[in-house]
Amino acid sequence: MIDRSKLPFDDLTEHEKLIVVRSELNGRRYVPKTDEEGFSLVRDLLGEKLFRGFTAARLEVAARYRCRPRWGVYGGWKLFYRFECDGDYLCGICVDERRYAVRIRLDRRACAAFERLRDTFSRDTVQWAYDFAPVHGGGRYILLDPEHCGLEAVFRVLALYRIPDRPI
């Protein structure tokens, strides 16, 4: 991995900067400086078809919730686009090579609501993801793949945690 602190980063060519950024992505610690840069990296990682799915999920969260998006770092994913409402984590979109998933926080109340509605969710995708989600403080952080479970299922689960500000 390249140590950026030892490089005259501002003096590098655009191609050299891209090499450094790619190295940091492989080290899973790079946070894009702008949305333009982040979305360009997401397109490169996902390819055009999956990038359209990522964009649809991102725009739908923005349409339904009054929240502030920002780039961050999460686990072993190369990029993480998180949404916060009133300073509280709502969800995030995790991106890696040729795949992305929506990470949703479910507190105790939302987990109880999920259990009541469990049978209304797909067993192969949503229930499975819920059952294997790590428990944290009585709640769970569930990872859903919109390409498999569908965007509406993602938003049904998200609504268990927070009702949309602007229903669509």
pLDDT tens, 125-160?
999 999 999 998 889 999 999 999 999 999 999 999
> β-strands 99-106, 88-96: how paired?
antiparallel
pTM: 0.82
Q: Are 101 and 143 in contact (CB under 8 A)?
A: yes
Nearest CA among 73, 76, 72, 69 for reference residue 55: 69
Place of tokens 């979109």: 93
Q: Is residue 2 part of a domain?
A: no
**What confidence score (pLDDT) does residue 75 get?**
81
Q: Is residue 18 part of a domain?
A: no
Tokens of 80: 């993480």
Model confidence pLDDT, tens digit, residues 1-56: 445 555 666 776 776 666 666 666 655 578 999 999 999 999 999 999 999 999 99
Give kind and range of the element (H or E) at residue 35: helix 35-46
Q: Is residue 26 part of a domain?
A: no
CA 130-134-138 angle, to 5 degrees, is 90
Q: Is residue 63 part of a domain?
A: yes
Q: Is residue 22 part of a domain?
A: no
- 3-class state of residue 141 by DSSP: strand
Q: Which domain covers residue 49, as residue numbers?
A: 31-161
The one-character DSSP state at 161 is: H
Number of compact structural domains in the chain = 1
Q: Is residue 13 part of a domain?
A: no
> What distances in angstroms separate CA 72 from CA 30, 134, 161, one per listed residue?
8, 20, 21
Nearest CA among 77, 115, 166 for reference residue 155: 166
- C-alpha–C-alpha distance, residues 131 and 67, integer Å: 28
Nearest CA among 65, 90, 93 for reference residue 79: 93
Q: Is residue 8 part of a domain?
A: no
- C-alpha–C-alpha distance, residues 157 and 113, integer Å: 10
Model confidence pLDDT, tens digit, residues 73-91: 888 888 999 999 988 899 9
Q: Are 69 and 81 in contact (CB under 8 A)?
A: yes
**What confidence score (pLDDT) does residue 46 get?**
95
Q: Is residue 9 part of a domain?
A: no
